[in-house]
Structure 1
């Protein structure tokens, strides 16, 4: 079997693995967005304990054609993500499957596949029924710990952690909707609030409160408000932004990424503009001095 053909098969398996974690994604590599790329990077970090860059995914996974194989260490990471020990085992299994499929008469293969599909549907239905009997959907508010106001659903995301695997939890109208078991571990993340981990049980309906990150909130105010005092903005930015600040702005329609340093980004913030208000912060990180040293923004 041609190694490139095996790599294309691996790309499909990676996409299927991603869809298991993010079932609302029904696209292809061509429609894989910048946010999907970030989700995939996080998924690899959690399940394989390895890192993959955005540029690598753009170059090797989103591309419709591949002229040569990527480095073997990267192939090992993707193979481990889809359940194999590495690229060598993935290639070995792919060759075995090719031999088995080729050896089966067409009719027998079709009957065999139909049987597998029917059995799988039956098992899924049965398991879902058993789970529904034991679990019930809960709705829990997410609020600002200081103001007690509901937090905008766009500003926070939640994941459920089971067996070290993260699954996204839906947030609608500032409320988490979750099918709680005896104890469900939830992690809430936001660029403007401090990360929080909680355990929810079937009887727990108490609102979840998140503590605002002061510097992130100041930055949000600069980006969303109509403050005219540019000198005040400039002085405050010097205090909250680290000298080695990196800002990545992901452009619409996957047109690429713009990079800004502290001086360049500060100049954009000092003078309010329509384009500035259309920027959506999706990630903020700070150093040990509590200065913001990394910002990821989605240009809406």
Structure 2
């Protein structure tokens, strides 16, 4: 059965970058190892100051960030010295592990003319990998499996589903797909994983006579195989996998241990994180605990 429908909420992550925040949600914190999901854009007419969209250097621990674009262009820089422009259809997979800092800059205004739109998810790491060395990889569209059928196009971003397997390196069993459906197409969720859901990027679908529109995440219980019918041309992001157990989250930090988050907070406050060597003139300060940063609780809160 349909377990829950999550309505996206508005959050601001920079001066002009407002996003639809889907995860975490207070009544359903994780879907498999996925603990965070933001949908930015489409931003069609950014101001003359495209730098107002920039997300300044900031830290992460205990997770992998996964960036995927539908339109526009973003420059990623991190404390490993990586500088990578990500374009539509590519995947930036950054594993924070024991700690990393990175920025996301929008430095080519012409690339935004057609509209900036991106999805970023965070994937929690298994306990054995939470303190692994940080790493970064970019995958181009030709490295990602694509499947087509009548009225259906899908790209497997990571994991395995529908008999497809991605070469993207992951730390636990999961699936993550970009799916485009034509009006009237019939579709079903993959059966390989115990926790499954999908986010409606645009368009609308019908399940059991009820219509669901863009900006909603639908999460399903194990073993359910819903019959999904598209009401119009529709784009979905499917995700899920196997649960990892309880996790705590505060700001950009994720861990299975509260004390580890407290340590990360102090490390960022005291400047013990390394900033990106080619983007180290500014950074996002640690928020005050009582300021309730957008979309996050004031203290480490368990996710399960």
Question: Which structure has the greater CA radius of gyration?
Answer: 1
Richer in helix (by share): 1
The TM-score, its normalising length taken from structure 2, stands at 0.25
The TM-score, its normalising length taken from structure 1, stands at 0.25
